[in-house]
């Protein structure tokens, strides 16, 4: 399987990378904790904070891979990449819905099942979720081309800019000890202020972590600690999320292609990559996204003959029945059938030089797959890019 071992370590790698970034950029406020006489205690507090943030990230990425089940749903199906709404009343439970004004609150630790996670100062973590990744109300489609909508800027030079298409999907913040904010606000942490973000989160210049603006160039700020700022900001990036989504979708498609009834028909030829009717999340009908005489392509609708072993099948082309069609995953899954096996290839998120903006862009393999992927499949296509592959591959077999 292409990159399977790497993806299996995706979450751990993401944590390791973030530890390096925290150390190099000052985002972890390590320099503050070198105060003479108090360094060991402050170091332990920061270690607890980093551990809490890493645990929260793991819990959110695990939540995004919840079992999708086999029972068809209608219209608003659970999907890979779903994240819970924040906890807005400090009871540990995610709110059932998060509208435009309620996508930041506390980490819903009870919903995530991780225990009462707290930073090194004893405070609960804060959490903001992207409007594109929240689980209610869902915005569709959600797939590997879906950008995050929060920006994070740092004095250390680390920048995620939602206005440039590289925002993050969620942000975790450890508030640490109370202080007087740069704007003069004195933080007081009592029961009456437990839901007021300004009593926990800090401000630098024009960027206020207590009042972030989504889809803006500066949603959150992370900088070296000072007497007016000690937030520890921990973004969850689209790449981290997309790796777990990619792995789950590949497993679900493989399961869907596995024939469990006898007799099993041969796998149908794929639909042509240049067939525009395969694109999008609209309903497919007979004659659309149909099998063609090509070696590799997208999963065909082929409703008349070849997917008979399940009713309301995940590949049946009805967006009311399944997350697969609702979220335009057919665009990103490629398929090469054989006599007894079918190779399934799930493209990774777009790399530099891969353009998937228009429908015309999406009608070319080089917008999705890399040269090493096709080489492993013995497929010739001189137009694909010779880049390190981020595609995943698996096989489905007939009995």
pLDDT of residue 383: 86
Phi and psi at 200, nearest 5°, equal -125, -35
CA dist list (Å): 381 to 44, 92, 235, 326, 368: 55, 52, 38, 30, 12
Kindly give the residue spans of alpha helices, DSSP state H, lying in 26-97: 39-63
Predicted confidence band of residue 195 (pLDDT cuts 50, 70, 90): very high
pLDDT at 5: 38
Average pLDDT score over residue span 237-247: 98
In this prediction, residue 106 carries a pLDDT of: 97
The confidence band for 310, taking pLDDT boundaries of 50, 70 and 90, is: very low
Residue 326: band (very low, low, confident or very high) from pLDDT cuts 50, 70, 90? very high
Torsion of CA 283, 288, 294, 296, to 10 degrees: 0
The rounded mean pLDDT for the chain is 87
Does the pLDDT at position 74 exceed 90? no
Which residues face 236 on adjacent strands?
A: 170
Burial of residue 397 (number of CB atoms within 10 Å: 0-12, 13-18, 19+): middle
In this structure, are residues 52 and 125 in contact, taking their beta carbons and an 8 Å threshold? yes
pLDDT per position as a tens digit, 149-166:
999 999 888 899 999 999
Condensed to tens digits (0 to 9), the pLDDT of residues 351-377 reads 999 999 999 999 999 999 999 999 999
pLDDT of residue 2: 47
CB 237 within 8 A of CB 169: yes
Task: Specify the pLDDT at position 260.
Answer: 65
- pLDDT score of 268: 85
CA distance 158 to 249: 30
């Amino acid at each position: 399987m292409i990159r399977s071992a790497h993806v299996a370590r995706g979450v751990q790698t993401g944590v390791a990378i973030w530890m390096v970034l925290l150390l190099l950029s000052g985002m972890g406020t390590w320099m503050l904790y070198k105060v003479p006489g108090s360094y060991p205690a402050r170091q332990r507090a920061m270690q607890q904070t980093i551990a809490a943030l890493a645990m929260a990230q793991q819990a959110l990425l695990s939540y995004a891979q919840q079992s999708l089940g086999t029972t068809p749903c209608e219209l608003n199906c659970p999907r890979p990449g779903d994240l819970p709404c924040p906890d807005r009343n400090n009871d540990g439970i995610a709110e059932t819905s998060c509208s435009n004004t309620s996508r930041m609150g506390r980490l819903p630790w009870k919903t995530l099942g991780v225990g009462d996670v707290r930073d090194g100062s004893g405070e609960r973590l804060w959490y903001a979720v992207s409007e594109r990744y929240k689980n209610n109300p869902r915005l569709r489609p959600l797939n590997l081309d879906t950008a995050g909508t929060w920006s994070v800027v740092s004095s250390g030079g680390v920048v995620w800019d939602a206005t440039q298409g590289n925002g993050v999907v969620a942000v975790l913040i450890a508030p640490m000890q109370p202080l007087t904010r740069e704007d003069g606000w004195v933080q007081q942490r009592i029961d009456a202020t437990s839901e007021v973000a300004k009593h926990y989160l800090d401000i630098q210049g024009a960027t206020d972590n207590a009042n972030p603006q989504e889809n803006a160039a500066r949603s959150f700020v992370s900088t070296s600690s000072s007497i007016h700022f000690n937030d520890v900001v921990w973004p969850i990036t689209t790449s981290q999320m997309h790796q777990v989504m990619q792995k789950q979708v590949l497993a679900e498609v493989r399961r869907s292609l596995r024939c469990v009834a006898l007799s099993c028909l041969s796998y149908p030829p794929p639909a042509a990559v240049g067939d525009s009717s395969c694109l999008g999340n609209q309903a497919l009908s007979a004659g659309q996204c149909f099998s063609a005489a090509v070696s590799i392509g997208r999963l065909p609708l082929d409703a008349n003959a070849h997917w008979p072993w399940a009713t309301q099948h995940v590949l049946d082309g009805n967006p009311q029945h399944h997350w697969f069609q609702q979220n335009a995953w057919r665009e990103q899954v490629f398929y090469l059938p054989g006599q007894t096996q079918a190779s399934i290839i799930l493209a990774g998120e777009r790399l530099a030089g891969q353009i998937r903006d228009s429908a015309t862009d999406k009608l070319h393999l080089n917008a999705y797959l890399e040269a090493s992927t096709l080489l492993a499949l013995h497929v010739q296509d001189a137009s694909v890019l010779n880049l390190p592959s981020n595609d995943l591959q698996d096989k489905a077999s007939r009995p």
